[in-house]
Structure 1
Amino acid sequence: MDTEAQHMERDPSSAPADGAEEGSRFTHVPDRSADSMSWGRAVFLGMLCTVALLLFSAFVLQPFLIPSGSMEPTLKVGDRVLVNKLAYRFGSEPQRGDVVVFDGTGSFVQETPEGDAVTALLRGAAASLGLAEPAETDFVKRVVGVGGDRVVCCDERGRLGVNGRSVDEEYLHPGDKPSEVAFDIVVPDGTLWMMGDHRGKSRDSRDHLGQPGGGMVPVDRVIGRVDWLGWPLGRLGSLEGTGAFTGIRPPGASHG
């Protein structure tokens, strides 16, 4: 009897069932490290995009949520506008008729509101993306007078006057007067006289005449010019300019 041949025979119990290959007995273990890497990559890309958007908003084009009706009908509550931060970066300055966003600290707001620093930071980030209302110190108004201008209200026909010329303000809210309050001011150099288009609902330079600064907004407090409407879709497009101030000459120049 060949005992060596018996030892060489394979134990039938060790054979793969149904003729399956021997390698199929090994269970496949999912590679969870690949999923973790995919999630990590997605989170990193999301953070990178957010930072890029914040930088773009901080230096180039910032969405701004309109919080009140002070600029109706030009801008309505809930509108999201795009503020061009490069408009006054290279030597240009705000012109009469421009609609601008500015920091009213020291002019419209005498003291900076106190609050939790972390909450303020998160709110500021959301506001800079147009997802939340702007800070209490940020305002949107129309430039009516620039440095050296004499702005008077009102003439015999109830119109605003700038440097001796009456202004027909076609952008005013229907039914509004240019101002219920009479004033006669000269805008100091380096500052601006701001007014809302809905004069009956706008707290603007007129309301701060008796306060420090006299309601004048320093040019360097201007954040940017409102150039486009980004939302709602039905109002999407560039903000229409105004010809109301065409022909206004510098102070002291005679009108022909």
Structure 2
Amino acid sequence: MTSLDRGSASSDLPDDEDRADPGGGRWGRRKSRDEHEDKHLPLWQETILLLAIALGLAILIKAVLVQAFFIPSQSMEPGLKVNDRILVQKVSYWGGGEPQRGDVVVFKDPGGWLGSAESSGPSSLVTRAMSKIGLYPSGGHLVKRVIGVEGDVITCCDKKGRISVNGQPLNEKAYIQLDGADCNGPMTRTCDWTAGPVPPDRIFVMGDNRNNSADSTRHMCLDESTGCVPGEEFVPVDLVVGKVFVLLWPRDHFRWVTRPDSFDDVPASPGDE
């Protein structure tokens, strides 16, 4: 046999991929397939991994982006009704951003604003766990509209029954409910009151159902008030969770929640001039 013949014979041998195994199969190809299959996790491990990722994303979203809540009372009617599901976004208040006049915000109870039933939140183990990750509304929070921010002076009311902010009357017909009240700020049992200037890092809030809302006006110390603490009517900004941006459920109530243009003409607070 010449060297050329030997070379030809060598080239005719099957390579690793095509070489037959003793059982008659192609062990090279089988080995390649087995190595590829070994890279896949078992189904139960993949399921646990996917659940862990989903849980982590839910916690991250709740912490920094969006959280679900429900409307606990009639105080925000007619726009938001009892048990409506809403979503709150937190992005607007990142980087030093703060609530603006007209925003509908969710905030933690400053203390004594809610009754025990409203503060209890979800009752079952499952719903409590879901509320922790933002997949179920949690209790102990209030939903109100921001009327005044730092430095603002809020006055009730002009001859037309309108509330004024820094001397500018607000046209609130599009979103408030009065139920026969004589003015747009009746919860003090009088239509003659002034609040502010709003302290730094505080907001003054009111419900849209002006005759049925335990809001800032209920916590003011008027001349005839006893047992109240001045300043309790102002909500600390650091208790604000975020701004309501969508009414999600029931489906027939679905709508985007935006800031009304009635606040556009409010001048800067006297302290900013």
Q: Same fold (TM over 0.5)?
A: yes
Report the AA paired with residue 222 of structure 1.
V
For 1:102-181, what aligned pairs fall within 5 Å after superposition?
102-106=107-111, 108=113, 123=128, 125-126=130-131, 129-132=134-137, 134-136=138-140, 138-170=141-173, 171-173=175-177, 175=179, 177=181, 178-180=184-186, 181=188
Output one character per residue of 1:137-184: Cα deviation in whole Å (capped at 9) or x when no partner: x11100001111111112222111111121111210253541222321
TM-score (norm 2): 0.68
For 1:196, the equivalent position in structure 2 comes to 207
Q: Name the aligned partner's letter for residue 172 of structure 1.
A: I
Amino acid at match of 1:179: G
Listed one character per residue, the Cα deviations across residues 72-93 of structure 1 (whole Å, up to 9, x for unaligned) are 1121122211111111112322
Work out whether residues 107 and 216 of structure 1, in 8 Å CA contact, stay in contact via their aligned partners in 2. no
Secondary structure of 1:135's aligned partner = coil
For residues 216 and 50 of structure 1, what CA distance do their matches in structure 2 show?
A: 36
| Contact kept? 2:127, 2:136, Cα under 8 Å | no
* Stretches of structure 1 lacking an aligned partner (at least 5 in a row): 1-36
Assess, with a 3 A threshold, how the Cα gap between structure 1 residues 176 and 146 changes in structure 2: closer, same or farther: farther
1:34-49 correspondence runs (5 A)? 37-49=42-54
Amino acid in structure 2 at the alignment position of 1:230: L
- Alignment CA distance shift 1:224-1:114 (3 Å): closer
In structure 2, relative to structure 1, the CA distance for the partners of 1:160 and 1:114 (3 Å cut) is closer
- Name the amino acid aligned to 2:109: G
Q: Residue 62 of structure 1 corresponds to which residue in structure 2?
A: 67
Q: How does 1:215-254 map to 2 (within 5 A)?
A: 215-252=233-270
After superposition, what is the alpha-carbon deviation per residue over 1:23-45, rounded to whole angstroms, capped at 9, x for unaligned? Answer: xxxxxxxxxxxxxx534542442
Structure 2: gaps of 5 or more residues: 1-41, 222-227
Structure 2 CA distance for aligned equivalents of residues 155 and 75 of structure 1: 27
Q: Matched residues in 2 for 1:201 and 1:110: separation?
A: 15
Give the drift of 1:110.
Answer: 11
Q: 1:110 to 1:236 in 2, by over 3 A?
A: closer
- Counterpart residue identity of residue 139, structure 2: A
Q: Cα deviations across residues 11-68 of structure 1 (Å, max 9, x unaligned)?
A: xxxxxxxxxxxxxxxxxxxxxxxxxx53454244224312321221121111112222
Cα distance change of structure 1 residues 78 and 128 upon mapping to structure 2, 3 Å threshold = farther
Q: What RMSD over aligned residues (CA atoms) do the two structures have, in Å?
A: 3.1
- Deviations along 1:77-122, one digit per CA (max 9) or x if unpaired, are 22211111111112322111000111123473699x999xx98996
Secondary structure of 2:60 counterpart: helix
- Residue 21 of structure 1 is matched in structure 2 by none
1:97 is paired with a residue whose SS is coil
> Taking structure 1 as reference, are residues 121 and 214 closer, same or farther at Cα in structure 2, changes over 3 Å only?
farther
3-state SS of paired residue (2:83): coil
Counterpart residue identity of residue 197, structure 1: D
CA contact (8 A) 1:107 1:214 kept: no
